[in-house]
Amino acid sequence: MASYTLDDIRAAADAKYASTDIDLGTGDVVHLINPLRLSKASRDKLHELQDQLEADNADQQVLLEDAIRLVSDNGQKADALLAAIGGDLAVLAQIFETYGASTQVGEASASAA
């Protein structure tokens, strides 16, 4: 029978549900936390922001910036990232797309048994 410690499980979760890290080129790295590692309130807010992005009159820049701030582990570094982006909507969208792609939970495979 296999036996695991809670630390083993945490290490596996850290590896599987790692953050999306963006190097600012200044020695600072912004860590965008995987949604599964966020609090329920933050996950709910992220879903709200995603829903708002789909609205016809959505200010995508503001919503994407809010989402980056929400999922960042450090508000000052998130602000530095956003300052470096300078409101470039294409870059904001690419960051959010990269974040979304890197946080997708894989589908469960069918059991061989």
Show me where the domains of the chain are located: 24-102
pTM: 0.83
- The set of long-range contacts for 92-100, using a CB threshold of 8 Å and a minimum separation of 24, is 92/60, 92/61, 92/64, 92/65, 92/68, 93/60, 93/64, 95/22, 95/32, 95/64, 95/68, 96/64, 96/67, 96/68, 98/20, 99/20, 99/32, 99/71
Give yes or no for a contact between 67 and 33, defined as CB atoms under 8 angstroms apart.
no
Q: Locate tokens 């000052």: which residue?
A: 76
- Provide mean pLDDT across the span 96-108: 73
- Provide mean pLDDT across the span 86-95: 96
Which pLDDT score, from 0 to 100, does residue 97 have?
Answer: 92
Which pLDDT score, from 0 to 100, does residue 107 have?
Answer: 42
Which pLDDT score, from 0 to 100, does residue 105 have?
Answer: 56
pLDDT > 60? residue 112: no
Give yes or no for a contact between 33 and 72, defined as CB atoms under 8 angstroms apart.
yes
What average pLDDT is seen over the chain? 90
For residue range 62-84, list pLDDT tens digits in order. Answer: 999 999 999 999 999 999 999 99
